[in-house]
Structure 1
Amino acid sequence: MDFECGDAGAWRAALGAYAARVETLAGAAASKRELLPLDSFYRGDLPLLLRRRGPKPFLSKSELLRVVQWKLSRGQWRPRLMGYAEALGEAEVEAASRAALAAIPDLARAVSELTALKGVGPATASAILAAFAPEIAPFMSDEAMMVAMGNKEYTLKHYLAFAEKLQKKAKELSVDGESFTPTDIERALWSSVVGSKALSSSEKDVPKADAKRSSKRKRKP
């Protein structure tokens, strides 16, 4: 997916393939086999839970652990991050997340409130914020960052630039009856990248399979 693409239909198609990409990725490695239920929780259950806790919503420690698991399963697995999250106290997670969600739409302040927690960087913070305010805060995935920004930097400054860029793209595409959020843009980009990788991998496997069949035919008397 070219980030400069202005075809809303192409973006909608990439977004529509998201669930299938998650399913494909979940079957690709043992470290990702929990991705399906985690993604269902993250996209379906968590936003509802947070909104029901108004007017001062917060994230529980168990929910934070599932968000971190989701993030790692969807991207690169980093066991050390789970260790940091598991060591956090329930009260500090609730306090930091309550302050962060109350800071929306001030993304700089919201991210800073969450990154005060040990082991929670801008990417994990963005995952929490995206679940609560998808119309403002996109998740800072490696795949979307590379397409939108051309590089990966896990800093607040880079996240704010990334979020602004996805907000503008969502607004640009939300015409003629279409409606996109920055989170939609991130998921479309992620879906496109994961789909391209899967296609590339399958194409590499075809010659190997053909070579094996050819070798078997040659050995016949």
Structure 2
Amino acid sequence: MSGLKPDFEASTPPGGEDSSQGALAFHPSHITLSTFNRLLACYASTVEQVHRSKLIQKLQSKQKSKPKRKSAETSTDAQDTTPTQRTELTPAEEKHIQDDLDTFLKLDRWRYETLPKNLAKRKGDEAHLTKDELVDIMTWKTSHGRPRPMLIGMIKANQPSTITKATSEAFTSIPVSDPIKKPEESFPKLSLDTLTTSLRGVGPATASLILSIATVVGEPMRQVPFYSDDTYLWLIFGVYPIPGEGQVKVKGVKANGELDVKYNLKEFRGLWEEVQILRRRLTGGDLGSVSTVDVEKVAYVLRHIAVSGYYSDQHHEVREATVVESTEISGGETKKRKVKEGKTRSAKK
């Protein structure tokens, strides 16, 4: 999708503005502001459901890896060796899951609400991150997305003074130019380079996250999007849900679901451009109406649409797994690849 021209006319997907039946309803070039805002409203419930599932899977994985003690009964019965899969949690397990979930949701609110406001209050040379804040940012990143334990250790190896200096220089050098009219001047290359060359464990993706947090409060033209897998899947690879369709393997996505990307500056620049174009198209030029963080959250909901609650007020069959599809637009037609059938459930009012 790189290279798209900004389109200031709202495109209406087949079946009406908010039609969830339309194959292009969630296509970046066709999604409407109304649909975008409905998806955005689902972020809180989506992130809670997704993280809860992660915690349960982690708990069950630990239980499977523990060696089982043989009792008098089981030692004499060598025929039944199939492990039993429990579907319910004990009260103690439920409390453990809920405590961990509450901790993460608090961190999630801190990343999206508290820290951006705190940074906005630090004017001039005072605009910087502390070491504890940078560690917490990485903790959020590796909990919200893919686990990367090694990165936490690398981040902790940075000296507090180095973090203060690098983030201060990066924040003060973010350009203030129209990202559509002057893309060369507004792309924050210097800020990104400052962070990636000064701080251990900080690559272009993490640097973009730091800049995103620091710019979401303030001048809309300065906002920097986070290079998240979810946003890249949606805006660059063209992966988004199509009601009633299953999951399809698309170019750029590995068999294990990870992105086949390098997370380099060139890739981020392409994503940065598409985020700005989407913001401009949705709002007719008023970038303040849709933030880069809004785009990030909507992309996350789209990737996890089956648990988002988006279809809760409609009669649809929703895949238990994340429903995605890759489409090609040619002459107004949507070309769909054949997909493997999967399990469905009915979403009712």
Short-chain TM bin: 0.7 to 0.9
**1:104 partner letter:** I
**Contact 1:22 / 1:35 at 8 angstroms: preserved in 2?**
no
Q: Which residue of 1 aligns with 2:275?
A: 166
**2:47 partner letter:** V
Q: For the pair shown, which has the larger CA radius of gyration, 1 or 2?
A: 2
After superposition, the C-alpha distances for 1:64-121 in whole angstroms (9 at most, x for unaligned) are: 0111111111110110111101111101111110011011125111111111211101
Partners of 1:137 and 1:2 in 2: how far apart?
22
| Structure with the higher fraction of residues in helix conformation | 1
SS in 1 for 2:155: helix
Q: How many residues align?
A: 206
Q: Which residue of 1 aligns with 2:196?
A: 115
2:141 is aligned, of 71, 83, 89, to 71
1:96 is aligned, of 147, 152, 166, to 166
Q: Does 1:16 align with 2:41?
A: yes
Q: Does 1:182 align with 2:285?
A: no
Q: Which residue of 1 aligns with 2:232?
A: 145
Partners of 1:176 and 1:54 in 2: how far apart?
28
After superposition, the C-alpha distances for 1:119-167 in whole angstroms (9 at most, x for unaligned) are: 1011111111111113320111101101111143301111122111101
**Contact 1:163 / 1:182 at 8 angstroms: preserved in 2?**
no
**2:171 partner letter:** L
Q: Does 1:28 align with 2:28?
A: no
Structure 2: where are the runs of 5+ without partners? Answer: 1-25, 59-99, 176-186, 238-251, 253-260, 309-317, 322-341
TM-aligned CA deviation for residue 195 of structure 1: 2.2
**Contact 2:46 / 2:307 at 8 angstroms: preserved in 1?**
no
| Structure with the higher fraction of residues in strand conformation | 2
After superposition, the C-alpha distances for 1:29-48 in whole angstroms (9 at most, x for unaligned) are: 23783431111100111011
TM-aligned CA deviation for residue 176 of structure 1: 9.9
**Contact 1:174 / 1:180 at 8 angstroms: preserved in 2?**
yes
Partners of 2:144 and 2:297 in 1: how far apart?
11
Residue range with higher mean Cα deviation, 176-185 or 144-153: 176-185
Q: Which residue of 1 aligns with 2:12?
A: none
Q: Which residue of 2 aligns with 1:214?
A: none
TM-aligned CA deviation for residue 196 of structure 1: 3.8
Residue range with higher mean Cα deviation, 147-156 or 192-201: 192-201
SS in 2 for 1:119: coil
Q: Which residue of 2 aligns with 1:209?
A: none
**Contact 2:231 / 2:300 at 8 angstroms: preserved in 1?**
yes
Q: Which residue of 2 aligns with 1:216?
A: none
Percent identity of equivalent pairs: 27
CA 1:176–1:90: 2 relative to 1, 3 Å: closer
Q: TM-score, normalised by structure 1?
A: 0.85
TM-aligned CA deviation for residue 197 of structure 1: 6.8
Instruction: Tell me the C-alpha RMSD between the 2 structures.
Output: 2.3
**Contact 1:166 / 1:186 at 8 angstroms: preserved in 2?**
no
